Structure 1
Amino acid sequence: MRPLILVVEDETLVRMTLVDVLEDAGFKVIEAVHADEALRVLKAVSGIDAVVTDVEMPQGSINGFELAQRVRTDRQEIGVLIASGRAAPKAGDLPEGALFIGKPVHPETLVRLIKNLLGPPLG
């Protein structure tokens, strides 16, 4: 079964690129435009293995750091990767176990980090 990744990114072209890279690497992908939509998806869809989120998403009520904290609090089994081209994490921004990467994200780096979050393959 292919791992399911939730991509949270407000910029359409960036989101499409992330989705393409992850699908090409064998993942199933669900998209959300901002953190509020992502939280709705997380409530409605079981089996999400990891979340890849941007930090700055003007449309939502919270940013990617806050989304990551919520995911970590509510669903500890989900891996979290935070990406940003502008906002670097300060002390306390990253929840335990979450990873941060600067943008632009190289496709091979993205796939490697997601695989690290998911841990060793089962079976």
Structure 2
Amino acid sequence: MSRHILVVDDDPQGLAVLKEIFAELGFQVMGVGSGDEATALLESDAPIDLVVTDVYMPGVTGLDVFQAARKRDPHLPVLYITGFIPPPLQEILAKASRTLVLQKPFELSALLRALDQVIPLGAGGAPAREAG
């Protein structure tokens, strides 16, 4: 069974790169360019095993996306990709499980390590397959 990932970034180039990386890692990728689109997907029945989101976006922010993810499933992993971690987010992360921040710019190896902490990856970086 493949894993489904929701990638949120208001920068079209950043979104395209992230979608390509996650697709190559074997994820089924849904990429959206706004927090509004992300929260709508999180409120739907769309399969989502991991949320990767930017923090600073106009309107609905990455923190809002995090809250929608936790409302959907308190254990849904969230990976923030950002250049800066604001104090309110630092406080939330100190208490939240299965949530990490990866600071921009980052290398692929750092992304793989962060992913492996929030959603176990199989050999070669592919999402771990579930027995069944």
| TM-score above 0.5, yes or no | yes
The letter of the residue matching 1:114 is: L
Q: Does 2:18 match 1:18?
A: yes
What SS class does the counterpart of residue 49 from structure 2 fall into?
strand
SS of 1:44's equivalent? coil
Contact 2:42 2:68 in 1 (8 A): no
Q: Which residue of 1 aligns with 2:91?
A: 92
1:1-123 counterparts in 2 under 5 A? 1-58=1-58, 61-85=59-83, 87-90=84-87, 91-94=90-93, 96-97=96-97, 98-119=99-120, 121=128, 122-123=130-131
**1:4-53 deviation digits (Å, cap 9, x = unpaired):** 00000000111110011111111110011111110111122432000000
Q: Which amino acid aligns with 1:30?
A: M
Percent of residue pairs identical: 30
Q: Tell me which protein shows more helix as a share of its residues.
A: 2
Q: Which has the larger radius of gyration?
A: 2
TM-score w.r.t. the length of structure 1 is 0.85
Which ranges of structure 2 fall in alignment gaps of 5 or more residues? 122-127
Checking the alignment, whether the CA contact within 8 Å between 1:32 and 1:38 is kept in structure 2 is yes
Judged with a 3 Å threshold, the aligned counterparts in structure 2 of structure 1 residues 73 and 42 are, in CA distance, closer, same or farther, namely closer
Q: What amino acid sits opposite 1:83 in the alignment?
A: I
Rounded Cα–Cα distance in structure 2 between residues aligned with 1:32 and 1:117: 21
Aligned length: 120
RMSD over aligned CA atoms reads 1.9
